[in-house]
Each structure stands twice: as C-alpha cells, then as structure tokens.
Amino acid sequence: MNTPTRQVPAQEELALDSFLLRRTVTFSELYTLPQPELDLLIAETTTVQHDPDTRPAKRKLCGYFKELALLITTRKLSA
C-alpha cells in the first residue's frame, strides 16, 4: 500500500495573515517583531485557537505562531 507523502514547508515559509497587524507575518519574522506586535499576535492566535469554527489546520498554525511568540517574549524579558 502506497501512502502519499506530504510536503511540509520549511518553518521559515510558514505565514499567518494577521487581522490585528493588518498584514501577513512569516514564522522567521517573529524574531524581529517589536514587543507590542508580538503581544497582538499572541492575543490574536490565542483567540483563533479557541474558536470552534476555525479549521483545525489554522488552529495548528496559530499554535505554532503563538508558542514561538511566547518563547521569544520570555527570552526578551529574561535578557
């Protein structure tokens, strides 16, 4: 039985259309965002993750962005 292989994009290629930032943000761009924009992105992705009408793939994508944004924020605060 052949199982189809899925192409998983490199992390740097992941992109999220942010309503609050009014633009598309790439995964690698999170490292350069100012803290106020990271805060907005964390709030937005948390809300989207908990919306039952959101597609599972979008929820997962928001989870990736939220976790990295939280990690970056934690590191900035401890530096």
* pLDDT of 25 strictly over 90: yes
53 within some domain:
yes
31 within some domain:
yes
Mean pLDDT within 13-36: 94
pLDDT classification of 13: cutoffs 50, 70, 90: confident
Structural domain count, the chain = 1
Residue 44's domain comprises 14-78
pLDDT classification of 54: cutoffs 50, 70, 90: very high
Q: What is the model's pLDDT at position 79?
A: 83
* pLDDT of 30 strictly over 90: yes
5 within some domain:
no
End-to-end CA distance of the chain: 52
* pLDDT of 68 strictly over 70: yes
